[in-house]
Structures are given as structure tokens and as C-alpha cells.
Amino acid sequence: MVNNYTEDSIQTLDWKEHIRKRPGMYIGKLGDGSSYDDGIYVLIKEVIDNSIDEFAMGNGRSIELSIKESEVRIRDYGRGIPMGKLIDVVSKMNTGAKYDSKVFKKSVGLNGVGIKAVNALSQSFVIKSFRDGAGKICSFEQGNLLKDQNVKNSTESNGVEIIFTPDEELFGNFHFISDYIESMVKNYVFLNSGLSLNYNGTKFISKNGLLDLLNENMNSEGLYPIIHLKAEDIELALTHDEGYNDVYYSFVNGQHTTQGGTHLLAFREAIVKTVREFYKKDFDAADIRTSLIAAVAIKVEEPVFESQTKTKLGSKDMGPNGPTVRNFIIDFIKEALDNFLHKNPSTAEILLKKILESEKERKAISGIQKKARESAKKASLHNKKLRDCRVHYNTNHERKLESTLFITEGDSASGSITKSRDVNTQAVFSLKGKPENTFSKAKKIVYENEEFNLLQAALNIEEGIDELRYNNVVIATDADVDGMHIRLLLLTFLLQFFPDIIKHGHVYILQTPLFRVRNKLKTFYCYSEPERAAAIKKTGANPEITRFKGLGEISPDEFKHFIGKDIRLDPVRLSKEDHLSSMLSYYMGNNTPERQDFIIDNLKVEADFVEE
């Protein structure tokens, strides 16, 4: 059969239709709010970015953000948008002031798209602008203008207020996780000294910039006091800890570039160059960067990002007439860090000791690594342990942010997930029995233990998470004591050797239903006792009730409901208060009376629930 390709095959979509048809081009993935990079958070960021640009130009020192259920409100106190262009700014593509680099010299948003995407992807969108006693209010629904009202003799302070509700048609039954939003808010204030950002009644402000950022994100003290260096258009903070991986927080013009870019590559190179020259030794780059925790922020004129979501910098130059990003960063670090180490010999001594320890450990496990890589190849990873997904084989695949690896145990459970998954984006890794407890073990166990070696290879995290193959890593185990134990052992492995995969919000626990309640007409899957009680009321007298005891009991046809668009994921999150060493020691170390009491108390709660 030949498909006819005629004039009728070619369509022209208006601005809002194009955004709603291809939202991934504008906000990455949609998601339901379980992941920190889901679209509902990008919508918030796009609005706040505009307010931050106003602040950066010296207009308005405070921003208000409030979220009530599904409604988001953002108010800034900048200059306000000129009234005659208010509708165009939020509904006409490639319209905005950011094209005038004299007005917004080093702004985040340059292509006039972000706020239009928020409008088009919202069920309701209201924008208000106030300037010098006058105001204008425009209301939209799914990008369609509903109301345009001028306000005379306004007593409102200058600025812009936007209120929007993401569209459930696109985002489904979404929810906001306050921790993710709070982290976003903190990054804004860390990067904008003097900015006050009020989130749901709590005021956030930072005096020490990236120094505060590192202190906020570190779960233990550094080996030496954080080195904090600043100059025009650049700021950095760094230290080392006792971990195994290097962790970076990079920013451009206040934008969190979670995928790095030219500035992060230059920063990593500059650290190695400077350290080698200071100690006059040709250290291996890996030994210098192992356990490095660093933040770097630069300001670039007319930055070029590799996507609309602005997570990776592509710019090679600091500006039309400026130096290259690489030379600018290397020159600054070579001078500033070298001077700091000369002036602080105690820090220089601790850093040298850390590098030598890393070198010693790397050489000790190099032979083990080589054998482990060969073992991974012989085990035929992609045929036996891992059922991969197709998204990796197309470098331009727009669904890469949806890539998910389910880690499960047992043939029946992995078989059900494998048969019901979306082969484009969902992969399955099968564990063989309970993994080893890695608490207090040296990193060589990652290579000596076949399960961990193959899992590390599947995730591609041996050198850190920059090349992590799956954006979402989902632990899928039974909701019983054995399943909980496997879950703890996997989390211990990740926290011990690859904590940044959790810190960066990639790890989740799969929720599966505990009960199925049905009659001849309706079927309900229930994840808790209250849900079961509600389902029984809806189905009427004498429904059939099934208690699922394990993932293997759920048929592939049913599993499609639980790992499809209605998937329920619990994100694994770490806060500053979670001290990894003490937490792992408590849960995974030698038995203590306190832990025994904890286990007995929680087993009693579980037993009471099962009996009901």
C-alpha cells in the first residue's frame, strides 16, 4: 500500500496547538510530579525565570510563590509588562523583550517561548501587569483568550502576577512535591544575592551564595572548609568528602544546568590543571576529582542552550566580544584557586592527602575492574539480566526523559513487568535472590559481586551519573518483609557508592496495589485499606476481593495499569538532615537494641494491618 503525500498531508498548527501536541519540545516530559524534572515544575520555573531576569536588571527585590493544591501563583515587583503587549507576550511566539540585549543583557530566557508554553499547557492562566497606577488583566483557557480587562487607578505595586493551573488533560492526576519546589526556590536565592523569595509563607534568602548551596546539599562535613571564590560573572565553591564520586551543581545566568555543558567541562578541566601545577605532579584526573563536591555559576551574554528546558549550555563564548567560556573559566581558576592554596597550606595538605588516598585505592582495584568488565561481557548483560528499551538506540529520541529501569527480584515478577512494559522507554533488570549488604564495604565489592557489577554496567554509572542510561530507576519489590529487605539492600548499595543518583532525584519505589475489588461490572485496584473500603462501597454487596501477596501474582495484562500512565511512584529523597553514615549504620550495621525495638514495633503495625 502506497501512502498518498499531497497538499492535504501538510498542516499548519497555531502556536498553542503546536505546544499542546508536542509539549516535550518545550518542557521536556509531562509526568505527574513524582520526578523533580516533570513538566509541572518546568512551568513554575519558566514563570519565575522571567521574574529573576527582572531582579537581575535591578527591578524588584522580592518574589512570592504560593501553591494551593493544583493552583500556582507567582508575583514579582519588577517593572511590569507594557500593557499594550501583554496579550502578545503570553500568546504570540517569538515575542518578548529578551531579544533586546541592552534591556536583558544576561537573562535566562532568550527565545520568547517559555511563558507561552505555560499558557498553552494550563487549564486556566491569568496574567496581571501593573505599571504606575494602571493595570491590565488577561485570562486564558488552554491558550485561548477569555477576558481582557484594563484597570484604572490601581493601587497595586508595579510588577506581574501570574496564576495558572496545569491542564489535567495533559498532566493527568498530578501533584506537587513541596521538597522539589523548595529546592528550586533555594537555588534561586543562592544564585541571586539580595533576592527574597517567599514560598507558601516561608521566606528564603541567602547571604553567601554557592557556599550556602554546598552547605545545604552536603549530608556530611567536607574534608576541609569549603573554598569559595568569586569574581565578575563567575562564582564557585568546592570541597571533597569521603564519598566515591564527584558531584557538581552548575548554573548559567541563574539557570540550573543539570546536564552541564561547556562551562562544566571547562570547570572540570581547570580543577585538574590547577591542582597538577600547584603540586607539580601529574596526578590522574580521576584521583583529583574523586569525591569532589563543587558548584559553579557563570553569567553569559545571549547564552545558547541545547534545548528549551535549558538544562545544558552549548555556548562556546562568554558574549559576542568576550573570551571563550573555556578560557574564561580556566584563567580564573588557575589564578584564584592557586592563590587560595598558597595562602591556606592546611587546606592544601588535606587536599593532597585525599588525592594520594584516591590514587592508592584506584590502583588497588584496577585489576579487579578489568576482570569485572570482562565478566560483564561474558555474562551477556543485555540478554540475561537486562531487558533493555529502545530509547537508547535513537540519539534524538524525544522520550529519553521517560527512560525507566525497573529493578526486580524473581523470574515471575520480572516476567510480568517485561511482558507488560512499554518497550520504547521501560527496561527491566532481574536480581537473583537478595543482594549482599554493602554497608562499610570497600568499593571493590562493586566489581567482585556479579549482581552489583552487572547493575552498575546496566546503569552506566561507573564514572558517575553524567551518562546515566535511565532517567528513572525504579525499585520494584514485593510489599512484604523480604521485599522490604531487598529494597533496603539496594538503597544501601546506591547510598554507599553512588549517592548522587539519589540526591539528583532519579530513584523511586514502585507502588503496586495490595487489593483488587471487583464485581461483574467494575474493577478497583486499591493501594491501602481506606481505598479498599471505598471500593467495597462502590461495588456493592459481596464483591470479589483479592489480596496480592507478590508482584508475581499480578498478571501482565493487569500490570499494564500499574506501570503505564497511572503509575504510582514514591521518590526516594534525601534531606540535609539525613546524615548518610549514621543512617546506614543504624539500619544496615550490626544489630543494636534501638533498631531491634524499631523493627519489633513496625512488624506489629504490619501484622495488625494484615489481620484486618
DSSP string, 18-75: HHHH-THHHHS----SSSTTSHHHHHHHHHHHHHHHHHHTT--SEEEEEEETTEEEEE
Phi-psi region of 492 (alpha: psi -120 to 50; beta: other; left: phi over 0): alpha
DSSP-assigned states of every residue in 299-311? --SS--BSSTT--
392 and 298 in one domain? no
Mean pLDDT of 410-420: 84
344 and 443 in one domain? no
Domain end marker among 163, 179, 195: 179
Pairing of β 404-409 and β 426-431: parallel
Query: Who wins on pLDDT, 172 or 76?
Result: 76
Q: Is residue 191 part of a domain?
A: no
Q: What is the pLDDT of residue 370?
A: 64
Q: What is the pLDDT of residue 612?
A: 40
Name residue 466's amino acid.
Answer: D
Q: Is residue 194 part of a domain?
A: no
Query: Who wins on pLDDT, 143 or 242?
Result: 143
- Poorest-pLDDT segment among 371-380, 409-418, 479-488, 590-599: 371-380
Grid coordinates of 127: 496574567
Neighbours of 194 (CB within 10 A): 11
Q: Is residue 524 part of a domain?
A: yes
Mean pLDDT of 546-554: 84
**Integer-rounded Cα radius of gyration of the chain:** 26
384 and 358 in one domain? no
425 and 546 in one domain? yes
Domain end marker among 336, 363, 390: 363
CA 135 – CA 151 distance, rounded (Å): 5
C-alpha 154, offset from chain centre: 40
Per-residue pLDDT at 162 exceeds 90 = yes
Domain end marker among 305, 340, 363: 363
pLDDT tens-digit readout, 551-610: 877 888 888 888 988 888 889 887 655 556 666 666 676 666 666 666 556 544 443 433
Q: How confident is the model at residue 484 (pLDDT cuts 50, 70, 90)?
A: confident
Q: What is the pLDDT of residue 508?
A: 94
285 and 240 in one domain? yes
Q: Count up the domains in the chain and report the number.
A: 3
Q: Is residue 205 part of a domain?
A: no
328 and 450 in one domain? no
38 and 174 in one domain? yes
Locate cell 580543577: which residue?
A: 271
Q: How confident is the model at residue 99 (pLDDT cuts 50, 70, 90)?
A: very low
Mean pLDDT of 119-123: 95
Q: Residues 6 or more apart from 431 whose CB is under 8 A from it?
A: 407, 408, 409, 410, 451, 486
Q: Where are the alpha helices (DSSP H) in 302-344?
A: 325-343
Q: Is residue 311 part of a domain?
A: yes
Pairing of β 568-571 and β 544-547: unpaired
Please say whether the beta carbons of 114 and 69 come within 8 A.
Answer: no
Structural element, H or E, at residue 298: strand 292-298
Please say whether the beta carbons of 540 and 405 come within 8 A.
Answer: no
Q: Is residue 267 part of a domain?
A: yes
Q: How confident is the model at residue 306 (pLDDT cuts 50, 70, 90)?
A: confident
How does the average pLDDT of the chain come out, rounded? 84
β-bridge partners, 40: none
Mean pLDDT of 111-122: 83
Cα-Cα-Cα-Cα torsion 219, 220, 221, 227, nearest 10 degrees, comes to -30
CATH classification at residue 588: 3.40.50.670
325 and 433 in one domain? no
Per-residue pLDDT at 251 exceeds 50 = yes
Mean pLDDT of 369-375: 64
430 and 562 in one domain? yes
Range of the domain at 352: 210-363
Grid coordinates of 346: 592546611
CATH classification at residue 324: 3.30.230.10
Please say whether the beta carbons of 423 and 402 come within 8 A.
Answer: no
468 and 419 in one domain? yes
- Poorest-pLDDT segment among 170-179, 191-200, 336-345, 430-439: 430-439
- What is the phi/psi pair of residue 348, to 5°? -60, -35
Q: Is residue 240 part of a domain?
A: yes
CA 67 – CA 201 distance, rounded (Å): 10
CA 410 – CA 550 distance, rounded (Å): 10
Nearest to 210 by CA among 180, 232, 188, 195: 188
Q: What is the pLDDT of residue 6?
A: 61
C-alpha 407, offset from chain centre: 19
**3-class SS of residue 416:** helix
461 and 321 in one domain? no
β-bridge partners, 230: 235
Q: What is the pLDDT of residue 557?
A: 86
Q: What is the pLDDT of residue 368?
A: 72
Per-residue pLDDT at 266 exceeds 70 = yes
Q: What is the pLDDT of residue 610?
A: 39
- What is the phi/psi pair of residue 193, to 5°? -60, 130
DSSP-assigned states of every residue in 235-270? EEEEEE-SSSS-EEEEEETTEE-TT-BHHHHHHHHH
- What is the phi/psi pair of residue 71, to 5°? -100, 135
pLDDT tens-digit readout, 59-77: 989 999 999 999 999 999 9
Q: Is residue 2 part of a domain?
A: no
Per-residue pLDDT at 391 exceeds 90 = no
**3-class SS of residue 568:** strand
292 and 385 in one domain? no
Q: Residues 6 or more apart from 447 whose CB is under 8 A from it?
A: 365, 368, 369, 371, 372, 453
Please say whether the beta carbons of 492 and 584 come within 8 A.
Answer: yes
Per-residue pLDDT at 5 exceeds 60 = no
